[in-house]
Amino acid sequence: MNSLMKTVGGLSFFRILVVAGLLLSAVHTQASHFRFGHFTYQSRQDVAPAAADFAMTVAFRSSAFGHPGIGQTFRPGRYNFGDGRSANLNYRVIARNLQEDWIVGRAIDSSGNDLIRHIYPSVDNNGNPWLGQFSSCCKIGGIRNASNASWRVYTRVDLTSGNSSPLSNLPPIVSCSKYDCRFLIPAVDPDRDKITWRLSTRSESAIPSIPSGMQVDRDTGVFTWAGAQSFSNGLYSVQVTLEDRDDNDVVKSTAAIDFLIRLQDQGANIAPAFDHPPTPEAGSRIKAVVGQTLSIAVQASDADSNDTVYLNHVGLPNRATFEQSISGGRIGLAHLEWTPTESDIGEHIVTFLANDNRGGASSPVSVTIEVIKPAISDVRVRSRISADDVDVDTSSLSKPPSSIGIEGDRTVVTWEFATFSVDQLENLSKNLRLYNVEPGEIRVVTEQLEVSYIDIDGNPVHQSLGEQRVKVAPTLTSVSVATDKPSYTPSEQVIVSSTIMNLASVKTDAPVSIIVTDTQQNIAADLGSFNVEALQAQETRGLPNLNFSAADVYAGSYLAIARILDERGKVLRQASAPFSVTTQSGELATISALVSTDKPVYRAWDQAIVDLRALNNASNATFNGGNGVMTVYRPDGSLLESGTYVINSLAPSANEDRQHILRLEDREPGAYRVVWQIKQAEEILAESETQFTVERAALESLIGEIEVEHYPTGEPKSCQFVATNRSSSELDNATLIYQVIALESGEVLYQTREGNLALEAGASHPYTLILSDPPAYGDYGCILMAEIDEELRQLAAAGFQVIPPNLEVQVQAASKGRLLVLLDADDYQAPRDTVAPALQREYLERLLTENGWNYTLTSTPESFANEFNSGGYSSIAILSEATTLHPQVEALLAEAQNSATGLLISGSWNRRNSQLERSLGIALTGKNNQAHSIDVMEGVLANAAEDSPPVSAGLALAHCGAQVWAAFSVGKNASHECANLDGPAAVTVASYGLGRHAYFAYDALDSAAAQQGLHEQLLLAALETIQPRTWPLAPGRIVPLEISIENQSRRAALDVVITLPNGGQVVDTTGVYRHGDDTWLWQQDLSAPTAVHKIIYIQLPESSSDSLPVLVDIHAGINRSLMVNDSEFALSLAPIDAGLSFGNAISLMQSLLDQYPQDKDYDFIDKKLRSAEADIHQGKTDNAIKSLLLATDRLEKKVSAQALDLRLAVDRVLYQLQRTRSSISFANE
C-alpha cells in the first residue's frame, strides 16, 4: 500500500502535513485477526476450594490459520489467569463461517478436554476477585472505532461462595441494520443467579471510542444503537460485561463478551432473514429431556431471487448435529438434532446465523435449551372424601378414575398413570353435593390427597396434602335491582325496583336495604328496608318500588344498590344498577385535557412533537367550544414557548387533537414542563401536564460537512472537511478525526486526529485532505468524526470513486509504411538547384520525421539496391538527379510497383531511369524552359498553401492514364497522345498493377526545400497517396500497425504489449522494448489529457504459416502499481508461403498455353519460367531473375485476368529471390 496522503487544515491558518507510512500500518495490523472473545468459569469446590474450570471461546479470521476445519486446532495467544500464571493453549474449532471468513475455537487441555482447570492460590485475591484476561494487539484496521487497537477481555473470578460466572453466546460478527440496530445478548447463570448487562468501560475493553447511542438494557440484555443511521457502514467493536448478583444486588462475578457489529443498510442486496416459524423466536427457552432426541428446525429466506442462503451456528452442544437439508437457493433449511445425557442437565445457549453469497447477514437468533430429567412412573393420586352429608357427582369427573370405593366413612377416588412425562398436565376435578348446610358453615370435604410415584432414579416418592374445607355462603338468597331508565333530569323521579330469590332448598328469611350512592360510594339517599319472611325454596319475590328524586343530587353518575343484611347489619350480598342525573338541558358539562410528547427524552437539537387533546367526556351532551393554551417551561421555570388554539364544539364523547412542533435548538439539559389548558371566557375547565427531559452531550454541539473536490477531468482531488460549533457557548477539548475508508471492506486507509481544539460559538474549523492514489480502484469515503469526553460521534461522510484512466484506443493497419528514398550525394553540384544537396537532405529528414514517417535515405545505386532488395519498404521515392540505377533494378522496381509497392519519381535535368518511366506509361518529350510556376487542380488539396508557386524549370510530361494534380502555368506541353489537354502536366498520379505512383515533372525536393508551402504539401500528399491500399503479405514483409490512444483522464500510465506471430520481429524499436520471446512493450506515462500515437513496424516471419495473429493488450492505471487490463485487440493476417514453388505460376501458364496456343509470347514466357526454375535449383539466382524479368516484360502487354495473376505469381518469386541478394537484417535494427 504505497499511498501518500497530504492534509491541510487549521482555524486561522493553513498548514501542509505530509503523512507517509500511516497507510503502511494498515497492512501490518491486518495481520492480527481477533474477532471475538468470551471467557467464563465454573467453581469446582469438589476438587479444591480455589479450583475453577474455565471455558475459553475466541474467534479469529479463518484464512489466517489456513482455514482449519471443525475439530482441527489453532493457537491464537496466551491467557493470563491473574495470579501470575498463564497458558498458551490450543483451541479446537467448533464453528466456522466461510462467507464471513471466521472460525470459533474452544480452548482444550493436553488431554483434549474443553474445560481448562486452574487452581488459584486462594479463593480470592486479598478480598478482591482474581482478574483473568485475554489481551494482545492489534485489532484489524477496518474497525471504525478501534482501528489497529489492542483487545482485552476480562473475567472477574471470586470463588469465596462456590459461585460460577454467567455465560453468553454470540456470533463473532453481528450484522445490524443502521436504521434499527437491535438484538438480544443471551445469557444464563449456572447458579440461577440474577444477571445484569452493561457496556464495558474503555479501560476494561481497551476500545478507544464507544460510539454514541450504544446501550444495553440492564435487566433484559437487549442491545440497541440509537442514531446508528448517522454512522457509516462498516465494523464496530463492542464489549458487554455480564454480572451475576446476590439477593442484595451485589455483584458476585463478571464475564465480558467482546464481538463486532457490522453496521449495514439494505442497499442493492437484501440480507436474509429467519422465518418464524419454524425458527424459534430470539430469546426462546426450549426444554430438552435427558435421553430424548430434541429437533429444532431453522429456516431463513432471502428476498433477492438469485441469492443463496447459508445457515450456520455458534455454541452447538456436545454431540449435537446441525445439517442444512435445503441449500443452493434463496431458502435455507437446517435441523439441529441432539440427544442430551445426564451430564448435559442445565442451560445451553445456541445462536443461529444466516448469510447470503453476496455478504448479506441476518441478525442472530439465540435460544436457550434447558436439559431436564425424563418422566416419572407408577403415578397414583388418591382423594379421600368425607361421606358425612357429602356425595360425589360422578358425572362431573374431569377424567375417569381408576376406581371409586368406600372405606368406612370416606369415599376414595383413585387415578393411576403408568408414566407421567415432562410438562404433562392432567386436570383431576369433580363436583361434590353437600347436605344439611348452615349459612357460613365451614365443612371438611376432602380429608386427604395423596400422590405417589417412582422418580427417574427409581426411588419411590410419596406426598400428602391435608384437609380441604369449603365455606358455605353467608346467605342462601340473592337480590337484583333496576331503575326505570338510565338517565334523569332534575325534575324527574327515579323509580327503583328490586327482587329477591331463595337459592336454597329450604324456606328462609332475609332483610333487604335499598340505597343510592355516587361514584365515590358516598350514600346519596337511603330508600328504606324490607324484612322478607318465609321465602320458599327457590322462590323469587318482587319488592315494592321505591322513588328517588333526581332534584336532590348534583348532576353525575349514581348507583341504586339493593343489599341483603345479617342481624348485625353486615352486608351479605348486594346488587347495583347505574343511572345518571344530568342538567336541565340534558348535558353533563365535562371536558378533559390531555397532553403528551412523542418521546420522554430528547437530545439538545431534537424536535419534540407535542400532542394536545380536548375530550368531551359527556356521552349525551355537546361541548360548545373554547380555547386551548399550551405553555412550555424551561427547567428553571421560565417560559420557553406558548401557543393558543381554538377548540371547536365537540360532539358527545368526541375529541379534538392538535399537534405542536417544538424545535429544541441548543436547549439546556433538564426537565421541561408542558401545560395544556382548556378555557372558556378565561375560565379553566380542564388542565393536563406532562414533562420531558433534555439530555445534552458536548458532541451534539458539533455538526460536520464534507465536500469532495474533483479535478476538471473528474478524478477526486481532495476532501474539504468543516466542523461547526452550532451551540451558543464555546466548545473546548474536542478531538476531530479525519478518515479515508474503503467502502466495500470498511478498512480505514488513513486517519489523523486534531486534539484539544476549542471552537467559539458558531465558529467553524476547516481541514483539507489532499487525496493520493489508493491501494485499489473502487468506492471510498471521507469520514469526519468527533470525540469529547470519551464519546465518539460521526459528523459527516462523503463518498468518491477511484477508477482506472478513461482511454479511447484504436488499433489498425497504419496508413504509412516504411519509405526508401534515393538522393544525390551531398557533394553533388546540381547545375540548377536552389538548395544544396546536403541542405536538401537535412530538410527532407526534418520533414519526414515531423510527419511520422519511418524512412531510409540512400545516395548510391549500391546502397539503394541493397535496401530495395531487402523487401522492407512499402514505398520508394526517387528524388536524385545524378544517380543512375541499373536497368535490372528499374525492371524490379516496376514489378514491385505491380505488386503494390508505392513509387514516387521527381523529374530532373539529368535524365535517368527511362526504362522504369516507360513501364509506368510516362513519356518525357523535352524540357519546359518556359515553366515558372504551377497551379494545383481543384479538389487535390483541401487547403492549398498558396496559388501558383514558382518553379525553376520543368519537363514536358505525358502520363498515360494518370490523374493530373498540378499543371505548369505556362510553357511547352508534351508532344504525345497522352499529353494533358488542359495544359502541360507538372504532377501526376496513376496506378500500375496493384500499386500507385506519382511523378513530378520538376525538381520537387529542391522546390520544397527552398519554398516549403505548396510544393511541400504536394510532396507529402503524394507520399501518402502511393501507400498500399492492402499491405502485401509475404515472408519478411514489413506491415505497419498504428496504435492510437487518447487519454481523457488527468493522468495515465500505459503498458501496450504487442504479441507477434512466432518468428515475427519489430523493425524500428525506438521506444519499444522486447518483453518476451514474441512480445514487445511500449510504455507511456501521460500527465494530462492527451493523445499518443505509435506505428509498430512488424516484420512477418520467414516461415510459412496459415495464420498470423497479432495481439495488442492495453494495460492502464493511474500509476504503475494500479495497472488493469483496459482493452484487447486481435488482428489476423492472411497466410503466407515461404517456399519458392513455381506450382501456381506453372499452373496458370499451362492454362494460358491451352487457351492461346498460337500466341508466341506465351511460349516465350513458359520457356523463361522453366529456365528460371532450373536456375533456382542450381543456385543461379541472377540468371533466374533475368529469365523472370524477361517473362514479366512480355506479360506486361497482356491484359487477361489469368495473365495478370500469372505476373503477380512471378513477382512473388522475384521478391523472394531479391531478398537473397540483400545484406539487410531488420532484426538488428
Q: Which three cell numbers stand for residue 822?
A: 534515393
Number of other CB atoms surrounding residue 77 within 10 Å: 17
| Residue 262 exposed, middle or buried by CB count within 10 Å (0-12, 13-18, 19+) | middle
pLDDT at residue number 11? 27
Sorted by sequence, the CB contacts under 8 Å of residue 76 that are 6+ apart come out as: 34, 58, 60, 91, 105
Contact partners, residue 639, CB within 8 Å, separation at least 6: 631, 632, 633
Residue 1005 in grid coordinates: 525536393
Q: Give the pLDDT of residue 1226.
A: 61
Q: At what angle do helices 887-898 and 1201-1220 cross, to 10 degrees?
A: 130
Residue 365 Cα distances to 448, 945, 1160, angstroms? 48, 84, 102
3 state SS of 188:
strand
Find, among 13, 214, 29, 261, the residue nearest to 751 by Cα: 29
* pLDDT at residue number 423: 67
pTM of the model: 0.59
Residue 858 pLDDT: 96
Q: Which helix (H) or strand (E) is 608 found in, with range? A: strand 607-616
- CA nearest neighbour of 850 among 1020, 998, 653, 1075: 1020
Other CB atoms within a 10 A radius of the CB of residue 1030 amount to: 9
Query: Could you give the CA distance from residue 810 to residue 1045 in angstroms, rounded to a whole number?
Result: 7
404, amino acid identity: I
- Looking from the CA of 1038 toward its CB, the CA atoms found within 13 Å total 28
pLDDT for the residue numbered 427 = 85
Q: Which of 201, 176, 339, 188 is nearest to 258 (CA)?
A: 201
Q: Using the CB atoms, write b or e for 518-550: b if 16+ within 10 Å.
A: eeeeeebbebeebebeebeeeeebebeebebeb
DSSP lists the bridge partners of residue 406 as 411
Bridge partners, residue 1112, by sequence: 1058, 1129
How confident is the model at residue 305, as a pLDDT? 80
pLDDT along the chain (1229 residues), means of 10: 34 27 29 82 94 95 88 93 94 89 93 94 92 89 87 93 91 90 92 94 92 94 92 93 94 95 81 92 90 93 86 87 81 93 89 85 90 82 83 83 85 85 78 75 79 80 81 82 91 93 85 90 90 90 92 82 88 91 67 93 94 82 86 96 93 89 94 96 92 93 96 94 95 94 91 93 96 92 93 94 94 92 90 89 96 95 94 94 89 95 80 77 88 91 87 90 94 92 94 96 94 95 94 86 93 94 87 90 93 92 82 94 90 71 84 92 94 92 94 92 93 91 63
Residue 1176, judged by CB atoms within 10 A of its CB (0-12, 13-18, 19+), counts as buried
How far, CA to CA in Å, does 1191 sit from each of 405, 537, 1161, 1194?
141, 152, 9, 5
Return d(Cα 273, Cα 901) in angstroms, integer. Answer: 73
Q: What is the pLDDT of residue 148?
A: 85
For residues 1100 and 1105, give the distance between their C-alpha atoms in angstroms, rounded to a whole number.
Answer: 10
Measured in Å, how far apart are the chain's first and last C-alpha atoms?
Answer: 40
The predicted pLDDT at position 3 comes to 36
Beta-strand relationship, 954-959 and 1065-1066: unpaired
Backbone angles phi, psi at 896, to 5 degrees: -65, -40
Burial class (CB in 10 A: 0-12, 13-18, 19+), 872: buried
**Ordered strands of the 571-581 beta sheet:** 487-488, 571-581, 556-565, 508-518, 523-535
CA dist 1212 and 706 (Å) reads 71
Helices (H), 735-800: none
> For residue 1030, what pLDDT is reported?
85
How far, in Å, CA of 1100 to CA of 1004, rounded? 34
Q: What is the phi/psi pair of residue 583, to 5°?
A: -75, 175
Cell of 1055: 503498458
pLDDT value of residue 1140: 56
**Burial (CB count within 10 angstroms: exposed 0-12, middle 13-18, buried 19+), residue 339:** middle
How many residues does the structure list for the chain?
A: 1229
Close Cβ partners of 445 (under 8 Å, ≥ 6 residues apart): 385, 386, 390, 432, 434, 468, 469, 470
